[in-house]
Amino acid sequence: MSQRIDGCVEDILLQQGAIAGDVFADDFGNEWVVQDDRNGLRLQIKDKPDAWLPFWTAMTIKLPGLHRVIEEDLESQKTATLQ
């Protein structure tokens, strides 16, 4: 199970040691991919290049339930979807 941390997006990314390519999810059902912007990390909704949070927004905004998605979680979700 993924660990949930309270705080703004930037706090969560830093506490989780996020790097480009990591996947996070929120309580709204969005999967976010960490992107490495020249000024810092930003989040982009998976497979939606126009839906993203720039690094300066990540310093203040909170996404309820934002947590790192572990590969095992992804596999469980795929299996549940197929059944």
The DSSP 8-state label assigned to residue 33 in this structure reads E
Q: What is the pLDDT of residue 20?
A: 94
Closest CA to 56 of 38, 42, 73, 67: 42
% residues pLDDT > 90 (the chain): 37
Domains of the chain, by residue range, sit at 9-82
**29-44 pLDDT, tens per residue?**
999 999 988 878 889 9
Q: What is the pLDDT of residue 40?
A: 82
The residue that leads in pLDDT, 81 or 24, is 24
Q: What is the pLDDT of residue 58?
A: 83
Does 76 have pLDDT greater than 70?
A: no
The pTM of this model reads 0.76
Q: Are strands 40-45 and 31-37 parallel, antiparallel or unpaired?
A: antiparallel
